[in-house]
Chain A
């Protein structure tokens, strides 16, 4: 008699356990979303991303080849005539100023990284992304020290470059980058580094108030890539001489 009673009890408990488990799994699935589909979707996205990256790289190569060819022609013509040669020099100069030319020269490389993981409070946010205005300030200091060309993570800093924070990333010239951020500047290396490192200056504040991990090194030959976007003015028109 006692035996039957306990067996019934066990059956009952097992049934309840099964139901509770089923309910639990259902709720988890409902709140997070179906696991298998998301994983597949993420993989699909990753594949797309890789494919697009490859496509971009090959297109970029094509463009570079084309530009090299164009340059050869221009240079070939320039050698024939002093006047044309001067014009060509001007073009090169203005291209460098506008950022449409790869440039190289001595300068410094600044690498900014988030603090080591233990110090970070909170999840996926990045301290340097949240405080992106410090990057703007670094650029300003570099410019004050007469940097001649600046890039952030291989994106040339031009008069139209915007820095937009978005979900742990910064979009620079419309391209997303996560930390670390590498700022390159061409100019007089000593001056550039010293102006950033003045006592209680910008770098000091970033290191001590934000705990960021910053490395600066001087180099004799830094290559800064060109700006790869078309900029055509839709609103701004040159002022006609006559109207003045």
Chain B
């Protein structure tokens, strides 16, 4: 069986390093790909741009999506993912610093599967990342490929 893949959308390099570190604490056998904005996320999912040549049928098991990103923010990215039949069922977890109810409501409305506010305390962040990874990669069943490919 192939290694599980997490697509991490994060524009800030420091946050990227820390999130990867937090995720890797327990999830040692996971493939983590980083996209730095919404455009790169869509490129990855479609095998275009920086990810030209990648097989788009090969969907990640989970997208961890930051909200505040340059070029295309998280909410717009989510809207496009849900609008595309091929990617519409992809499990998307919002991973953000924003604890604003407005953002939470909007993300759920756009079809986010989960909303996680990154804790300031790194220990808490590691705990959250570990639980989140375990739940989505080990407990949760991803949509089967035919459903994803529409």
Q: Do A and B come from one complex?
A: no
